[in-house]
């Protein structure tokens, strides 16, 4: 560990990038993105984070799942979702 809380920052950053890249792929694939799709990807991000923590808690003996990690994952997903919503609104505003 570099400093206390480094693990939580990494969790947040990984899930931020996960959602940004997933939404970016959908935007490029479909030439745009709907609000429903943005929130569906956010739901998948939180679900994936929760699944990882549950697997760490009950399946893997060398890892431990905990709530602060899931919270950090969710914060990263929320930050990315907010960013995508802002960029999506700016693009729609610029086209109008």
Tens digits of pLDDT across the chain (96 residues): 688 889 999 999 999 999 999 999 999 999 889 999 999 999 999 999 999 999 999 998 888 889 999 999 999 999 999 999 999 999 889 987
Domain contains 96 = no
Domain contains 95 = no
Domain contains 26 = yes
How many CB atoms neighbour CB 65 within 10 A? 17
Domain contains 52 = yes
- The sign of the torsion formed by the CA atoms of 94, 22, 43, 9 equals negative
Q: Token pair of 21, please?
A: 């890249």
Q: At what angle do helices 35-58 and 6-30 cross, to 10 degrees?
A: 140
Q: How many domains does the chain have?
A: 1
pTM as predicted: 0.92
Of 79, 24, 89, 15, the C-alpha closest to 47 is 15
Give CA–CA dist 80/28, Å, rounded.
17
């Amino acid at each position: 560990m570099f400093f206390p809380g480094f693990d939580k920052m990494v969790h947040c950053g990984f899930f931020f990038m996960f959602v940004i890249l997933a939404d970016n792929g959908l935007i490029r694939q479909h030439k745009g993105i709907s609000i429903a799709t943005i929130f569906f990807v956010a739901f998948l991000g939180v679900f994936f984070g929760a699944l990882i923590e549950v697997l760490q808690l009950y399946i893997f003996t060398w890892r431990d799942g905990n709530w602060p990690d899931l919270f950090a994952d969710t914060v990263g997903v929320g930050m990315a979702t907010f960013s995508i919503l802002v960029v999506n609104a700016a693009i729609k505003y610029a086209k109008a």
